[in-house]
Amino acid sequence: MIALTAPDQPDRPPHETRPLVLSLSGITKRFGSLVANDAIDLDVRAGEIVALLGENGAGKTTLMSILFGHYVADEGTVHIADAAGQLAPLPGGSAEAALRAGIGMVHQHFALAENLTGFENIVLGTVPLWRLGFGKATARAKVARLMKETGLEADLGVPVGRLSVGEQQRIEILKALYRDVRVLILDEPTAVLTPQEADGLAETVKALSKKGLAVIFISHKLHEVLALCERVVVLRGGAKVADRPTAGADRATLAELMVGREIPPRERAPATLGAPVLRLAGVDVGAPGERDRLEGADLELRGGEIIGIAGVSGNGQGALAALVAGLKAPRNGSCEIVGHAATRADPSARIGAGVGRIPEDRHRDGTIGALSVAENYVLETLAASENQRHGLLRRSAIRARAAQAIRDYDIRCPGPEAPIRALSGGNMQKVVLARVLERAPRLILAHQPTRGLDIGATTDVHRRLLAARGRGAGILLISEDLDELFALSDRIAVIHAGHLSPAMDAAGLDTRTVGLMMAGHSAEEAA
């Protein structure tokens, strides 16, 4: 968690006297009939950290993409200060112009080439293409210094595609910081970072802002926003509905501004345990040299309980999830899933046995971007009789059920026929969730289920997972968000370097102990 320092730093000049570096006025962006940004004005001053809040699909990323030149605004202008401090119009639709003007962006959906290493991604485009070399030594030194200053550690020598999302996130941030920017856009940079890393990033951002960097910070984690930002701008349905100082606001006020209504609290009944749905005994997954592997894991998860798996991503969570989802076979040990011995990698058998999977990366493993919401909704049960007859899809039935899910789960989208890639992250996640829960699974694998979700959607996911637990499903919750783990789990196990600790009663644990165990200390040391 971000250290709770007072948001108003006294050693800085008062807000109004600092020069404007960025001014958006009347920005409007439409996608077909959908108004993603509605006449938005936004001024940002040097050294200021502004939070941009809003529900999933409120238009935050769209606004920032216009600023960074990915999208062209239908109306409105962007002005940015040049080196002398004079505001000048920024030509739209050119990331190159934005970069040249000193804007850096950390993308919500990482803009990384997976076949390049982290280092290569960072230096890509920073050296003119006609040059023969990079000046590798200086570049490496600079990256190393950045990593030290920010505490963002990542393996820079392997192709980015092989890294965990957490590491990819760190590289995405390093990439933006590597260019000396004057305006930094951080689009949900902390969604997959560990608490310590989020702290480190917050410190870095603060230090940079003291030097005059203007920061636009997008996050759904309101405690971070309150600790870090001086001002919040709230979007709702594409329009700006609030622009106020953080001082005097709390989580509840911000949440209400975003959602426009009060958020019901989650309720958690005591667990009623059923039969075991997952039993691991001495299970190894992945080769010994692999980073993301599991070694000698023991675990028993019963129906009606939630076991939280805490850990820094890349420590074996991927292997555990792949095992449960049937994407990888155990190398050693015995693994029993919903009463069936799982010896082979067979995802469809797992689905048949009653395993529901909420994958970590909804874009890569959860949905198929070009297919419609309805098609994605039935993707895992195409063979079921309600979806096909004589091998032909029952289109209208599928569409009707998807439309029902859209209503039940409050999925904001143009309709069941819209391609799913056009949905905002939170709404995409709701489709995945609806797909999983529709089948009333016995075992639910929830891997970072609320990554990137707004507070309303997060509460919603939590309520639905708790409801599934109430119905008797066993839930394996893999998450880096300790708040989430403690809010939902009956028991918590910590994973580090491929080793899974015994599952401990959550009531007897505190975040500090778990945090230390995530860093590799044993339960005894940490207690």
Partner 1 sequence: MWAALEILSQANFWAATIRIATPLIFGVLGALLCERAGVLNLGIEGIFVAGAMSGWLAVYLGLPLWGGVLVAALVGALFGLIHGVLTVPLGLSQHVTGIGVTLLATSIAYFGYRVAFPNVGTPPRIDAFPPLDLPLLRDVPFLGPILGQQTAFTLLAFACVIVLALVLARTPLGLALRAVGDNPEAVEAQGLSVVGLRIGAVMAGSALMALGGAFLTLSAFNAFYFGMINGRGWVCIALTVFASWRPGKALLGALLFGALDAYQLRLQTITGGAVPSQIFLMLPYLFSIAALVLLARRADYPRALMKPYFKGQR
Ligand X SMILES: Nc1ncnc2c1ncn2[C@@H]1O[C@H](COP(=O)(O)OP(=O)(O)OP(=O)(O)O)[C@@H](O)[C@H]1O
Site residues for ligand X per CB under 6 A: 31, 34, 36, 54, 56-62, 108, 422-426, 454
Any contact of residue 112 with partner 1 (CB under 8 A)? yes
Selected binder of Mg ion within 23, 108, 246, 429 (CB under 5 A): 108
Stretch that binds partner 1, among 90-98, 383-391, 407-415, 451-459 (CB under 8 A): 90-98
Q: Which does 70 bind (CB under 5 to 8 A by kind): ligand X, Mg ion, partner 1, none?
A: partner 1
Considering only 61, 65, 479, 501, the residue that binds Mg ion (CB under 5 A) is 61
Residue 454 binding target from partner 1, ligand X, Mg ion, none, CB below 5 to 8 Å by type: ligand X
Site for partner 1 in 395-424 (CB under 8 A): 421-422
Site string for partner 1, 352-391 (x = CB under 8 A): -----------------x----------------------
Q: Which residue in the set 3, 15, 75, 100 belongs to the binding site for partner 1 (CB under 8 A)?
A: 100
Q: Which of 37, 56, 121, 429 binds partner 1 (CB under 8 A)?
A: 121
* Cβ atoms 23, 90 nearer than 8 A: no
The label of the residue with tokens 């595609």 reads 161
The alpha-helical segments, DSSP class H, found in 151-285 are 165-178, 195-210, 222-228, 251-259
In whole angstroms, how close is the CB of 411 to ligand X at the nearest point? 11
Give which of 310, 307, 328 is closest to 319, Cα–Cα.
Answer: 328
On the CB side of 287, how many CA atoms lie within 13 Å of its CA? 2
What's the closest the beta carbon of residue 65 comes to partner 1, in angstroms? 8
Q: How is the chain split among helix, strand and coil, in percent rounded to 5?
A: 35, 25, 40
φ, ψ for residue 407, nearest 5 deg: -70, -50
Answer yes or no whether residue 162 interacts with partner 1 by CB under 8 A: no
Q: What is the DSSP string of 408-466?
A: HTT--SS-TTSBGGGS-HHHHHHHHHHHHHHT--SEEEEESTTTT--HHHHHHHHHHHH
Q: Under the criterion CB under 8 A, does residue 111 sit at the interface with partner 1?
A: yes
**Under rule CB under 8 A, how many of the chain's residues touch partner 1?**
37
Distance set, CA 99 to CA 45, 70, 103, 125, 183 (Å): 18, 12, 5, 10, 10
Strands 294-302 and 276-285: antiparallel
- Unique residue bearing structure tokens 């008797």: 472
- Tell which residue, 236, 181, 238, has the closest CA to residue 209: 181
Residue choice 25, 28, 126, 388 for contact with partner 1 (CB under 8 A): 126
Residue nearer to ligand X on the CB measure, 366 or 425: 425
For the CB of residue 31, give the shortest distance to ligand X in the complex, in Å: 4
Stretch that binds Mg ion, among 56-64, 93-101, 146-154, 402-410 (CB under 5 A): 56-64
- Contact in structure between 267 and 297 (CB atoms under 8 Å): no
Binding mask 43-82 for partner 1 (x = CB under 8 A): ----------------------x--x-xxx----------
Neighbours of 502 (CB within 10 A): 10
Rank residues 32 and 270 by Cβ distance to partner 1 and give the closer one: 32
Which amino acid makes up residue 12?
Answer: R
Collapsing DSSP to helix, strand or coil, 302 comes out as strand
Based on CB atoms, which residue is closest to partner 1, 251 or 363?
Answer: 363
Q: Measure Cα distances from 33 to 38, 40, 236, 420 in Å.
A: 12, 18, 17, 17
The least distance separating ligand X from the CB of residue 96, rounded to whole angstroms, comes to 20
Q: Show Cβ contacts of residue 409 under 8 Å, excluding neighbours closer than 6 positions.
A: 430, 431, 433, 434, 460
Q: Which stretch binds partner 1 (CB under 8 A): 117-125, 288-296, 441-449, 481-489?
A: 117-125
Residues 6+ away with beta carbon under 8 Å from 8: 230, 247
CB proximity list for 474: less than 8 A, separation 6 or greater: 274, 276, 277, 278, 301, 302, 303, 304, 305, 306, 307, 442, 443, 444
Stretch that binds partner 1, among 8-16, 100-108, 206-214, 431-439 (CB under 8 A): 100-108
Amino acid identity, position 356: G
- Interface segment toward Mg ion; rule CB under 5 A; list 102-110, 137-145, 287-295, 387-395: 102-110
Cβ proximity to partner 1, 263 vs 371, nearer residue = 371
Which stretches of the chain bind partner 1, using CB under 8 A?
65, 68, 70-72, 93, 95-96, 98-100, 105, 107, 111-116, 120-121, 123-134, 175, 369, 421-422
Which stretches of the chain bind Mg ion, using CB under 5 A?
61, 108
